């Protein structure tokens, strides 16, 4: 029980008594019918008047499915929950939202007394009793309101059924020996607090300036409306003063009691959702990690663009309601919706091939990894050495304190060091976090910080960035790997055994997406799924013992050792695929007599551009390649035909997939030529163990949940199979949406593992079961009368003489939407220009569309990793500004 007997020793002491009133009726997004004034006894037994947002006053158990008891923090009020109230009210039999204005705050009574945390918890209990809430009650809180409502949920649910907890950017605890969190240090500085909180609107206005995009001026004014005078802001000051900093703070015991209560809720298995804005200057990553540690079963969703006021994020209300349906009303559905995961086939773990190859005297001294250097030299590491170094590193990392389940970010260039470190960590049961430098500094920092890594292993440049950007985790320099291995070797020699091997269901890796369709997402694979993924890639790439691989894309080089294949890393900057030259590729092929090559589309382009520099020996080396793969983005057929001139024995292949499921389909140049022209890009047939279906688009361009395999039906491409991801990391809503499907009994039986993934791509199946990709779901153009996918028009535009690459976009609102093509010219232009009438008409005829404009630009914007996917969202926004006569700025 949280004590209410803590002394009122404090500095802030509101002396002004003000009655509770109703807020203005014309606040944006506010329904005046929600507004109630409720009388209830506070912690001292004194009757007080509260202002309460209530969407269903007087509702009985049969009128709603339950009640959301929402408590705001500082310096907001119940207006914070208006979006949730609106969304819940829109459902015929939905949730009742009861959002309180805490005493001294919002439009509730100013009592003239100072309230501390313990007393606020007791005050809330009195209000709940007065409201006579019944049935299912879910506690919802933000900021310090999250602490208050968590304390109530853990100590007062005698008369109600607390069936869930939703918290947003709040604390589960705070160390007694720590200073004030984040920017509160400045606010709590001597002589600052009272001026910033009650003496002025500084604290209030600063809080309201945090959301991105910025809140409209009218919304900011609505938040400020109950705090127009110093007397009305006294509660803001008291709340800040009550932040329990230090062991002697009067509210320290109450906070510790709340923390213990949260532990009891977790032990009882109360469904919990943690919604988080990562850009919060007060409740930073430490608080999120603390929630995850204290409530291991909690569902977490990070709103990557959000700051402190998470409930203001456009997706917050929908996320909460979907979570309630899945976890509270219908437990077991939601994050695992559409799936009934079953164990996959018995596949050896990733490190098993190292043991097998190193134990075979015929191959133990053969190369496992070959690193090519810019000066033409190379470094080869044998299977025996790689296996031994992997075990030594595993023992050494264990001695350093790396434990199973801990997350380790590997920021090491591809090669033997990265390979050995990765396999060592996997063997220990640690979770490898793989985010390549191609994401850029901001993207990489967001990935590493968001993953909550415990260790960072990196080159000096990476560790410098880790310090400068305050990444979490202990740091290990690549130069230390030798010493770590030596320490591990000594432990193994002394008879210290390695920890038990992780099981196939344990998390093995978090692989980050490219970030080409929004912030990069962490994709979690179990050890069993990683092994299945490696096997699937091996079948497509055609690698294995005696079939070496040259990989110009780091993640795929790491799969080779799991398949017993020698991996060669060419001399290039792997973060910039376009730096690979034809000569560097040929030298890498020759170094290990490689039969397979994996290149990104950008690398293919530069290899062809530099092919003139090849000598006879290098051309001969490329002539021995039998398998060439390029993935990550579509590769134009003419480009593949030119590649075959360099590698005549290879049928260039372009497997289709994503970080969440790779490969999904496979197709070669001969298959593409056989398919001929069509609407979109032919990516071939599903690979072994994979099923592809379509979720048809409706008239609004949205994809439903029903899955079809009917030829010609256009819809979102949905992939099912054993090597589909386990889940997205800390993105509960994104994961739930990605598996929200209704497969038929036939399809459900075809996907043995029960795993599905909505790719976000749109396309169709043809009569021969081939998959055609027509663009991204987010790039579909919807008009008043039709739904148009972009790739087909773009392909036809690119067949026009004078057009090198095109983006097809829609301009204006749906009712008056017009089509436009923004293109790179074959003869590059120096600045944006409108295509001449002859060229524009040729593009209109080719696309079959009445285009409002054809604009020529120096370059189209592409993604950061593959340097080839067109950012159509950016193109569309730019084109709208340009055609409206606004200053559009540079496009790329």
Residue 875 domain flag: yes
Q: Tokens representing 72?
A: 């705001």
Short-list 371, 653, 657, CA closest to 523: 657
- If asked whether residues 58 and 184 sit together in one domain, one would say yes
Residue 91 domain flag: yes
pLDDT value for 819: 96
Q: How far apart are CA 781 and CA 789, in angstroms?
A: 6
Q: How far apart are CA 402 and CA 420, in angstroms?
A: 15
Residue 455 domain flag: no
Short-list 435, 369, 516, 342, CA closest to 864: 516
C-alpha angle 564-570-573 in degrees, rounded to nearest 5? 125
472: left (phi over 0), alpha (psi -120 to 50) or beta: beta
Q: How far apart are CA 840 and CA 819, in angstroms?
A: 13
Q: How far apart are CA 122 and CA 201, in angstroms?
A: 29
8-state DSSP, 870: B
pLDDT value for 6: 35
Along the chain (892 residues), what's the average pLDDT of each consecutive run of 10 residues?
36 76 97 97 97 91 90 98 97 93 98 95 96 94 98 87 96 95 91 95 97 95 97 96 95 97 96 97 95 97 95 97 94 46 68 92 94 90 96 97 96 89 96 84 89 95 90 94 97 96 95 80 94 90 89 79 92 85 96 91 92 95 94 81 93 91 93 93 93 96 96 97 94 96 87 85 97 95 94 96 95 94 92 93 96 94 64 92 83 76
- If asked whether residues 839 and 695 sit together in one domain, one would say no
Within 110-181, where are the H helices? 117-131, 144-155
Short-list 567, 572, 527, 578, CA closest to 543: 567
Which of 304, 329, 354 lies at the terminal end of a domain, its last residue? 329
- If asked whether residues 737 and 825 sit together in one domain, one would say no
pLDDT value for 753: 65
Contact between residue 583 and residue 616 where contact means Cβ atoms under 8 Å apart: no
- If asked whether residues 237 and 144 sit together in one domain, one would say yes
DSSP secondary structure, 580-641, as one string = --HHHHHHHHHHHT--EEEE-HHHHHHHHHTGGG--HHHHHHHTT--EEEE-SS---HHHHH
Residue 220 domain flag: yes
- If asked whether residues 202 and 323 sit together in one domain, one would say yes
CATH number of 234's domain = 3.40.50.1820
- If asked whether residues 773 and 856 sit together in one domain, one would say no
Contact between residue 504 and residue 533 where contact means Cβ atoms under 8 Å apart: no
- If asked whether residues 90 and 208 sit together in one domain, one would say yes
Contact between residue 592 and residue 370 where contact means Cβ atoms under 8 Å apart: yes
Q: How far apart are CA 795 and CA 679, in angstroms?
A: 9
Q: How far apart are CA 307 and CA 731, in angstroms?
A: 16
Domain carrying residue 850:
782-883
Short-list 203, 67, 70, CA closest to 141: 70
Residue 542 domain flag: no
Short-list 870, 891, 867, 869, CA closest to 879: 891
CATH number of 846's domain = 3.30.300.30
Rg (CA), the chain: 30
pLDDT value for 346: 73
Residue 422 domain flag: no
Residue 827 domain flag: yes
Contact between residue 295 and residue 266 where contact means Cβ atoms under 8 Å apart: yes
Residue 320 domain flag: yes
- If asked whether residues 295 and 312 sit together in one domain, one would say yes
pLDDT value for 62: 78
Pairing relationship of beta strands 95-100 and 66-71 according to DSSP bridges: parallel
Contact between residue 485 and residue 393 where contact means Cβ atoms under 8 Å apart: yes
- If asked whether residues 695 and 835 sit together in one domain, one would say no
Which of 267, 302, 329 lies at the terminal end of a domain, its last residue? 329
- If asked whether residues 218 and 314 sit together in one domain, one would say yes
Hey, how many other C-beta atoms are within 10 angstroms of the C-beta on 564?
Answer: 21
Hey, how many other C-beta atoms are within 10 angstroms of the C-beta on 833?
Answer: 12
- If asked whether residues 206 and 232 sit together in one domain, one would say yes
- Structural domains in the chain (count): 3
The answer to whether the bond into 75 is cis (omega within 30° of 0) is yes
Q: How far apart are CA 491 and CA 51, in angstroms?
A: 66
Question: pTM value?
Answer: 0.91
Name residue, tokens 């030299």.
377
CATH number of 712's domain = 2.30.38.10
Number of H helices, E strands in the chain: 29, 34
Core vs surface per residue 721-741: b (16+ CB within 10 A) or e: bbbbbbbbbbbbbbbbbbbbb
3-state SS, residue 431: strand
pLDDT value for 341: 47
- If asked whether residues 764 and 853 sit together in one domain, one would say no
Q: Tokens representing 292?
A: 């995850």
Contact between residue 316 and residue 82 where contact means Cβ atoms under 8 Å apart: no
Query: For the chain, how far is it from start to end, CA to CA, in angstroms?
Result: 59
Q: How far apart are CA 189 and CA 323, in angstroms?
A: 40
14 vs 8, 239, 401, 428, CA distance in Å?
Answer: 12, 11, 51, 57
Which of 275, 305, 329 lies at the terminal end of a domain, its last residue? 329
8-state DSSP, 135: S
Short-list 654, 663, 661, CA closest to 682: 654
Contact between residue 301 and residue 273 where contact means Cβ atoms under 8 Å apart: yes
């Amino acid at each position: 029980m949280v004590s209410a007997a803590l002394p009122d020793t404090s500095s802030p002491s509101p002396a002004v008594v003000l009655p509770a009133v109703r807020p203005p009726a014309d606040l944006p997004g506010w329904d005046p019918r929600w507004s109630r004034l409720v009388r209830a006894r506070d912690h001292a037994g004194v009757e007080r008047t509260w202002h309460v947002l209530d969407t269903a006053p007087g509702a009985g158990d049969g009128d709603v499915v339950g009640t959301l008891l929402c408590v705001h923090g500082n310096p907001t009020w119940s207006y914070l929950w208006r979006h949730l109230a609106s969304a819940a009210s829109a459902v015929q039999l939905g949730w009742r939202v009861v959002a309180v204005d805490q005493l001294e705050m919002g439009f509730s009574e100013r009592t003239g007394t100072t309230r501390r945390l313990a007393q606020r918890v007791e005050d809330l209990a009195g209000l709940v009793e007065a409201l006579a809430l019944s049935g299912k009650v879910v506690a919802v809180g933000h900021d310090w309101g999250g602490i208050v409502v968590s304390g109530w949920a853990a100590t007062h649910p005698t008369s109600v059924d607390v069936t869930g907890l939703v918290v947003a950017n709040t604390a589960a605890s705070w160390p007694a020996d720590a200073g004030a969190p984040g920017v509160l240090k400045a606010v709590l500085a001597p002589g600052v607090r009272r001026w910033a909180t009650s003496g002025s609107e500084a604290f209030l206005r600063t809080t309201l300036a945090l959301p991105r995009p910025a809140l409209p001026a009218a919304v900011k004014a609505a938040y400020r409306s109950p705090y127009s005078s110093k007397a009305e802001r006294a509660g803001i000051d008291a709340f800040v003063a009550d932040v329990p900093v230090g062991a002697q703070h009067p509210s320290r015991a109450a906070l510790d009691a709340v923390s213990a209560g949260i532990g009891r809720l977790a032990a009882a298995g109360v469904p919990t959702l943690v919604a988080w804005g990562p850009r919060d200057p007060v409740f930073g990553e430490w608080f999120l990690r603390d929630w995850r540690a204290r409530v291991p079963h909690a569902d977490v969703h990070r709103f990557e663009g959000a700051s402190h006021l998470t409930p203001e994020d456009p997706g917050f209300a929908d996320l909460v309601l979907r979570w309630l349906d899945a976890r509270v009303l219908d437990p077991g559905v939601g994050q695992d919706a559409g799936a009934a995961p079953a164990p996959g086939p018995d596949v050896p773990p990733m490190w098993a091939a190292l043991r097998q190859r190193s134990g075979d005297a015929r191959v133990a001294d053969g190369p496992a990894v070959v690193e090519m250097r810019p000066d033409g030299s190379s470094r080869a590491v044998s299977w025996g050495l790689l296996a031994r170094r992997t075990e030594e590193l595993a023992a050494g990392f264990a001695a350093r304190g790396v434990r199973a389940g801990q997350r380790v970010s590997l920021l090491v260039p591809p090669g033997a060091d990265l390979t050995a470190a990765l396999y060592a960590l996997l063997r220990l049961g640690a979770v490898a976090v793989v985010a390549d430098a191609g994401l850029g500094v901001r993207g990489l920092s967001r990935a590493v910080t968001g993953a909550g890594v415990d260790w960072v292993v990196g080159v000096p440049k990476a560790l410098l960035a880790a310090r400068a950007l305050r990444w979490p985790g202990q740091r290990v320099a690549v130069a230390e790997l030798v010493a770590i291995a030596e320490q591990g070797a000594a432990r193994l020699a002394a008879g210290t055994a390695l920890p038990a091997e992780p099981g196939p269901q344990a998390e093995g890796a978090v692989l980050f997406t490219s970030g080409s369709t929004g912030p990069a997402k962490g994709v979690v694979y179990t050890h069993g799924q990683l092994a299945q993924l490696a096997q699937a890639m091996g079948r497509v790439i055609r690698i294995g013992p005696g079939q070496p691989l040259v990989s110009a894309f780091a993640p795929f080089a790491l799969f080779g050792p799991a398949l017993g294949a020698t991996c060669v890393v060419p001399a290039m900057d792997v973060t910039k695929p376009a730096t690979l030259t034809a000569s560097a590729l040929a030298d890498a092929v020759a170094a290990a007599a490689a039969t397979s090559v994996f290149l990104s589309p950008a690398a293919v382009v530069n290899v062809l551009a530099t092919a003139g520099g090849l000598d006879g020996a290098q051309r001969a080396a490329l002539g021995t390649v039998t398998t060439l793969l390029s993935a990550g983005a579509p590769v134009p057929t003419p480009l593949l035909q030119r590649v075959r001139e360099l590698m005549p024995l290879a049928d260039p292949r372009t497997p289709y997939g994503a970080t969440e499921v790779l490969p999904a389909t496979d197709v070669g140049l001969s298959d593409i030529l056989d398919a001929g022209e069509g609407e979109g890009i032919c990516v071939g047939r599903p690979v072994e163990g994979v099923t592809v279906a379509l979720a048809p688009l409706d008239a609004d361009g949205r994809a439903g949940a029903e899955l079809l395999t009917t030829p010609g039906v256009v819809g979102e491409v949905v992939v099912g199979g054993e090597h589909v991801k386990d889940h997205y990391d800390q993105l509960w809503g994104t994961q739930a949406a990605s598996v929200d499907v209704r497969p038929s009994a036939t399809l459900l039986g075809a996907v043995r593992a029960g795993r599905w993934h909505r790719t976000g791509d749109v396309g169709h199946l043809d009569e021969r079961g081939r998959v055609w990709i027509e663009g991204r779901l987010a790039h579909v153009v919807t008009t008043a009368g039709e739904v148009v996918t972009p790739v087909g028009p773009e392909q036809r535009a690119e067949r026009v003489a004078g057009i090198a690459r095109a983006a097809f976009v829609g301009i204006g609102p749906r009712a008056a939407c017009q089509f436009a093509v923004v293109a790179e010219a074959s003869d590059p232009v120096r600045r944006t220009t409108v295509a001449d009438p002859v060229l524009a008409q040729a593009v209109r005829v080719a696309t079959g569309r009445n285009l409002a404009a054809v604009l020529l630009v120096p370059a189209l914007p592409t993604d950061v990793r593959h340097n080839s996917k067109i950012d159509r969202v950016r193109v569309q926004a730019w084109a709208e500004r340009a055609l409206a006569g606004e200053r559009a700025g540079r496009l790329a």
